[in-house]
Amino acid sequence: MKRQNDWYTGIDHYSNYMERDIQVEYMKISKPTKQSLHERVEMYYVLSGEGEFMVNGCPCEAKEGSLFCLYSHNFYYISHVRKCLEMVCVRFHIGLFMYMSWEKHPGNANAKLVYDTKPVVRLTGREKTRTENLIQDLLEEQNSDRFERKNMIEYKTLELHAYFCRYAFEQIGEEEQGAEKERKAWDIILKIVLAASSTPSLEEAASECGYSPVTLNRRIKEACGYTFHQLVQFGKVINACALLHFSELSIEYISDLLEFASVQGFYRVFAQYCGMTPRQYQKTQVGDDGFAAGSESVALQFLQYINLYFYDDITEADLAHKFCLKPYTVQTVIKKSFGKSFEELLGQIRVSYACGFLQSTDKSILEVSTMCGFSSLSTFLRYFKCHMNQTPGQYRKSMGGPEAG
């Protein structure tokens, strides 16, 4: 068989592509650097030392085992060097990653990898060992002139980037799980504040969300600054503040509705949180802006404000103005904490007060709708059915409430 020395291969089309231009550099950084533009992906692996990268204005710790992946939209510089950073930098064009990504990912996964992942992962154990071996192989190939050297650098660069994508993508899942845990805590917080007249015990609330009582108590404290018991008391007080705006409701009636053991106990708890008695609050604050932002989390302050003014025509813009925040920030905080829009949260709070009025007064459904701030009876009926799975009339009958006069 005749030997053929020259073969036509894909290299004839690929040899001049910039994707083949990969740089592997060992470096030691002992002082901060300046920010500079970079067109290529720059991956840093920290072999030793301690410092800090500033990426798009956010600090990222750099220490042994840190693997950075900085795309062209990641503007960065090294802001602090506490101990000389020994690192390896691998630079390549993003087209290399795009060209070689054969695996089909879930929808939007690639966009998440580029825009939603954090620019650094911290490696330990087997992941750290595997990455360091890759880094050493890259350095060795970079400094050699062996056959297939460039291909080996390409393969190992792709492997390094693929590992970063794996670790960073899994980190998104971990963060989402963390956000879900926080959301569970806020679900309980919302229930406690809205149902202060029939609040579940800590054990009942913990059982409902699958936590131990100690864990739930800790998560509530982390989320809003109050323990479970303090939150129950706080919820009763802000419900009382809202109800005190209705002059036809007596202090004794409000105390009973919120299930205080006695009027004296109601006065004591109210004064503890508001610095005044219910009667003083009614005389000095009703008709004025009686809301005073405390040291609680901003989400809890939003909840307090909505509870106080649920019967008014309040909007998301009102919250933004009151708290000197951008409307987008208000929207983001409410969505993150309560998992719903401002309008949905306001509707739920109004329905919770409507339930109290339906159960405890003989006012007509239309009167209750108006008292609770609904713009029309049809809107009230729609929100009530959505949250309670029954009509206001059915709810009043099931709860043994008085017939409307």
Domains and CATH numbers, the chain: 11-174 (2.60.120.280), 183-339 (1.10.10.60)
3-state class of 365 per DSSP?
Answer: helix
pLDDT at 280: 86
Return d(Cα 92, Cα 72) in angstroms, integer.
Answer: 11
Q: Compute how many other C-beta atoms are within 10 angstroms of the C-beta atom of residue 167.
A: 18
Q: Compute how many other C-beta atoms are within 10 angstroms of the C-beta atom of residue 98.
A: 11
User: Do residues 243 and 257 make contact, with C-beta atoms less than 8 angstroms apart?
Assistant: yes
Return d(Cα 282, Cα 147) in angstroms, integer.
Answer: 87
pLDDT at 295: 42
Tokens of residue 290, six digits: 């009686």
Which DSSP letter does residue 402 get?
Answer: P
User: Do residues 185 and 222 make contact, with C-beta atoms less than 8 angstroms apart?
Assistant: yes
User: Do residues 263 and 255 make contact, with C-beta atoms less than 8 angstroms apart?
Assistant: yes
- pTM score over 0.85: no
User: Do residues 77 and 35 make contact, with C-beta atoms less than 8 angstroms apart?
Assistant: yes
pLDDT at 210: 74
Return d(Cα 151, Cα 155) in angstroms, integer.
Answer: 6
User: Do residues 24 and 90 make contact, with C-beta atoms less than 8 angstroms apart?
Assistant: yes
346 DSSP β-pair partners: none
Return d(Cα 384, Cα 271) in angstroms, integer.
Answer: 33
DSSP assignments along 208-269, one per residue: HHT--HHHHHHHHHHHHS--HHHHHHHHHHHHHHHHTT-TTS-HHHHHHHTT-S-HHHHHHH
The DSSP bridge pattern shows strands 41-55 and 120-122 to be unpaired
The tens-digit pLDDT sequence of the chain (405 residues) is 556 565 555 555 555 566 678 999 999 999 999 987 888 899 999 999 999 999 888 889 999 999 999 988 888 999 999 999 999 999 998 776 665 555 666 666 666 666 667 899 999 999 999 999 999 999 999 999 999 898 899 899 999 998 998 888 888 755 545 555 666 777 778 877 776 556 778 888 888 777 788 888 888 887 777 888 888 888 888 888 888 877 777 888 888 888 888 888 888 888 887 888 888 888 776 655 545 444 456 888 888 888 888 888 889 998 888 888 888 888 888 888 888 899 999 998 898 888 888 887 888 999 999 989 998 999 999 999 888 888 999 888 887 766 665
3-state class of 124 per DSSP?
Answer: coil
Burial class (CB within 10 angstroms; exposed 0-12, middle 13-18, buried 19+) of 404: middle
pLDDT at 181: 60
